[in-house]
Amino acid sequence: MVDTSQNLLNDARASLRSATWNRLVRIYTPLISRWLVRFGVAPPDVPDLTQEVLLAMSTDLPKFEHNGRPGAFRNWLRGITLNRCRRHWRRARPASASSQAYAETERALDELADQHSELTELWDAEHDQHVLKGLMEILKREYGPESLQVFYELTMLEHSPVDVAEAHGWTLGRVYKLKFRMMKRLRELGQLLLS
């Protein structure tokens, strides 16, 4: 399970105009938007509703108390997104809207409110994948696509360093050095973004 770092939250809380706040916004905006679309928010409304969620985050972040449990921030963000989505549906529901479609959306939102539901598990899994993808994008920008591929083969596919070196025309020393440097950088990024 991937958790948002308490250090990142504390830094963002200290100054909502900081680079840390901007990083938090960059990380979470696509995830929030994707979930709003999933709950039937019309594409033209998604940017505004995403901004409402971010505004609520910025307003409530100084009051957020991390309880030390894994997923505390993720659950808090899920609650804010859920509440803003409910508010949107109540405001935006035209008289002509199908009561069946509205009821289905309400059921889905109720399921997301249940911390132990399958939909909440999906939220958590997508959150984790999204944050990890962001970390990999940072590594790709910093080291290049081939280096990221080598790192992926070593760490995720568990190919032997000898096979990876041979496949990429690298020396064995270069493969080991890259893995060491990228693991070190991943830990540094993890300190910034993850608990």
Summarize pLDDT for 14-48 with one digit per residue, the tens.
Answer: 555 567 778 788 888 999 999 888 888 889 999 99
pLDDT digits (tens, 9 = 90+) for 142-176: 999 999 999 999 999 999 999 999 999 999 999 99
Q: Higher confidence at residue 105 or residue 55? A: 55
- The number of C-alpha atoms within 13 Å of 114 and in the hemisphere containing its C-beta is 10
**pLDDT > 50? residue 195:** no
pLDDT, tens digit, for every residue of 81-101? Answer: 989 988 888 887 665 556 666
Task: Delineate the domains of the chain, giving CATH numbers in brackets.
Answer: 6-131 (no CATH), 144-195 (1.10.10)
Mean pLDDT of 126-130: 85
Residue 111 is predicted with a pLDDT of 82
Q: The tokens 């009051």 sit on which residue? A: 63
Q: Which residues contact 27 (CB under 8 A, 6 or more apart)?
A: 130, 131, 134, 193
The residue ranking higher by pLDDT, 104 or 80, is 80
Nearest residue to 195 (alpha-carbon basis) of 79, 80, 75, 68 = 68
Average pLDDT, the chain: 82
Residue 55 reports pLDDT greater than 60: yes
